[in-house]
């Protein structure tokens, strides 16, 4: 997928999570989490700019998702030191959003024939549902539209319930 497709899948994946945050009385987590999801949505594609690392290699794995989650947890510790607040909550939030952001990217790329080596280094198998090519402009815009609609629907529900 291209950037717009990754944004759409990230929004789609995060919409129910953001809604849950709002319903739990944590709208700030919904906003920050949504922004972080969009920021992380293309992080695995940094492999295009790193010599010696193949595209859809180590940065397109569950191991990388957990690594980014660990970095997010560290950010939660840092935020607790600066802003105060509940350390456990911020660490869990950072880990969850970091991991989920990368998993959303993997899901989007798994829609393409090339797939992703999600279980690397345990397995070299690529996982794919062969739905569309990554360079399909229409598919990327449809994914973006679906993600925006899911986010809008979650926002509508949050307003009705809250």
pLDDT score recorded for residue 80: 86
Does the pLDDT of residue 93 top 90, yes or no? yes
Phi/psi for 116 (5° steps) reads: -140, 145
Does the pLDDT of residue 162 top 80, yes or no? no
| Domain enclosing residue 85, as ranges | 3-161
pLDDT tens sequence across 21-71: 999 999 999 999 999 999 999 999 999 999 999 999 999 999 999 999 999
Backbone conformation region of residue 27, classed left if phi is above 0, alpha if psi is from -120 to 50, else beta: alpha
The structure's pTM equals: 0.95
How many CA atoms lie less than 13 Å away from 121 in the CB half-sphere?
Answer: 0
pLDDT score recorded for residue 85: 81
Q: How many domains does the chain have?
A: 1
Nearest partner of 43 among 69, 18, 19, 17, judged by Cα: 69
């Amino acid at each position: 997928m291209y950037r717009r497709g990754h944004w759409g899948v990230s929004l789609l994946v995060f919409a129910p999570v953001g809604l849950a945050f709002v319903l739990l009385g944590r709208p700030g987590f919904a906003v920050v989490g949504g922004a972080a999801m969009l920021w992380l949505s293309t992080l695995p594609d940094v492999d295009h700019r790193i010599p010696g690392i193949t595209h859809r290699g180590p940065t397109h794995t569950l191991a990388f998702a957990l690594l980014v989650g660990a970095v997010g947890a560290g950010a939660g510790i840092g935020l607790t030191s600066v802003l105060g607040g509940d350390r456990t909550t911020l660490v869990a939030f950072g880990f969850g959003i970091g991991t989920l952001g990368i998993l959303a990217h993997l899901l989007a790329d798994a829609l393409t024939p090339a797939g992703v080596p999600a279980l690397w280094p345990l397995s070299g198998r690529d996982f794919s549902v062969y739905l569309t090519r990554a360079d399909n402009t229409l598919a990327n815009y449809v994914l973006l539209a679906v993600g925006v609609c899911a986010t809008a629907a979650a926002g509508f529900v949050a307003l009705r319930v809250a």
